[in-house]
Structure 1
Amino acid sequence: MTVIVRDMRAGVRADTEGFVRVRQRALPFMVYSPEALAHDAAHMHPDARYRPLVAEEDGEIIGTAQVHLAHDSREPGQGNVNVYVHPERTRRGAGSLLVRAAEEHLAAVGATRLLSWVLDEPDNRVFAQRHGYRASRSAHFLRLDLANGVLPPLQDPPPGVELRTGADFADDPRPLFELDAETVADEPSDIDTEFTDYEAWLEETWRHPLFDPALTTVAVADGRPAAFTLARTDGAAAYATAMTGTARAFRGRGLAKLVKNHSLHRARAAGYTQAFTGNDAGNDAMIAVNTWFGYEICATEVRYVRELG
């Protein structure tokens, strides 16, 4: 049996479904769909030099890699290598082949530093170290049982604050882009992220197939978005908050809890049974908010870094 690595064909349903199948088994704490993968491949910013890869054995996709430059980083040359292999198809060489192909691609397009999320399990950490990566910061996946959990009661917004949904910004989502840009800049990370390209944000966030404007919730104060939680859903059972943040001028008022609670209540009413989110391990404030809702840590990833050259 021979393992080969090739590009994922975004227009071939068998490829996108195979990619999703591997990711759901290896990393079942995120929301996926074949349509989302095809959208990413078609609409990722050209400066990202995005290249999704698959490892195939006898016609079956057993491994995946999402490979791209962090085009929205303040520091050029940051490359992302996120490799996952089906847990029942490990030790066939698929992971090493994917890493090699990913590194060759990123080096060719100017990457000088590679970053890879690795599940915090002994075999995975040894694999990363064996390929020359060193451990950096960590992050948690959190899960909430929406079907059976007890959510905090809904609260009215404080005076001067109005709750809206993402759908209310359909004619002009730029205010949400500006709030997203402000909050993401303050997130703890190995990469300093700066959103400056509105059109890219529209393609990668606002028009993304998983984005759910009806469940996205926004607190508006002084005529502008002050806090928001951005929802993604698979249209079936899984709901995820891709970002929850508050503008600097409005922090400390409980607005993040307010918007997230309203979004979670509506998600449960819409039939979603599992809620997922993720937090940097050093983001104590947001971890406390999610713990208040009943989220529990279900897995941890460690960012591994390799300097090239």
Structure 2
Amino acid sequence: MTAILDVRDLKIYYKTPVGYVKAVDGVSFDVKEGEVFGIAGESGCGKSTLVHSLILRKPPMVHMGGEALFKGRDLMKLSKEEERRIKYTELSIIPQYAMNALNPTKKIKDIVWDLAREHGAEDRREVEKLLRERLRMVKLSEKVADMYPVELSGGMRQRATMVVSTLMNPDLLIADEVTSALDVTTQRVVLELLHYFMAEGIVKSIIFVTHDLALLDKIADRVMILYAGKVAEIGPTEEIINSPGHPYTSLLLESLPKIGVHYKQTKLRGIPGYPISLLNPPSGCRFYPRCPYGMEICQHVEPKLSAVDDGHLVACHLHGGESNE
């Protein structure tokens, strides 16, 4: 499959009075046309910084190196006008805390018209007709178009936000933690809607960001695991879930509760220690201070991604990861 997004050695830092926070530090991956690409990791690993740098980059976020080729164009080098032109039409995002992303002072139809008009739409009736069609598609009443966001429940607002973000049929949709504040029933609805958007050709590809590997097992074709601004592991979802290669991935999976297993039978395992400071990260493997399999080489030599199977890459000296230096 053709890659719609090709990210190479991307470095996105935050500028602070005491130095740069290396939130995304040399990340490489690609997203193929027609796939759902999952990004997972604990809070602070760089997931949201990574995807926001593709579409919502603003100070104190700073691009320090690398490229992100979207349909052949480097997103890091686009002018403000070029960014505005492709946003929501070719590349769109359902932001984290999407339930609060809609302007509370405007009706849904007015929010949509402002967006459509900014991208050249001239017929408001056609735009509202499309809006009402899409609302029906996500099992919402057409009356939602005439309502304010505060009149909608959390799940309804989430679906309305998804409609707004996909109204112009973007080639690549970024879904950033869109299920984090939802109950499990609504989570399932959201995942089904994303599948539906793909099946209907409303979007071509999706980047799905979450801290919950169980959700990725239901939606993603491939998964990338981030830790402290670095790629720990990347590969087919089924293989990552069933045969994790990185100790961090294994510990993430062990921290998830399992259906039918009583807590007295199997205790949940947390990941020992605390995330490192990205203001001044240590040399070597960034997971070394928390890793149960740490070796002398891990402390001094940063492992690079090495193939453990077809399309399955792991950055770990247990798998022969060599130095990046």
Specify if TM > 0.5: no
Q: Could you say which structure has the greater relative contact order, defined with CA pairs below 8 angstroms and 6 or more residues apart?
A: 1
Higher strand share: 1
Q: Give TM-score, length-normalised by structure 2.
A: 0.29
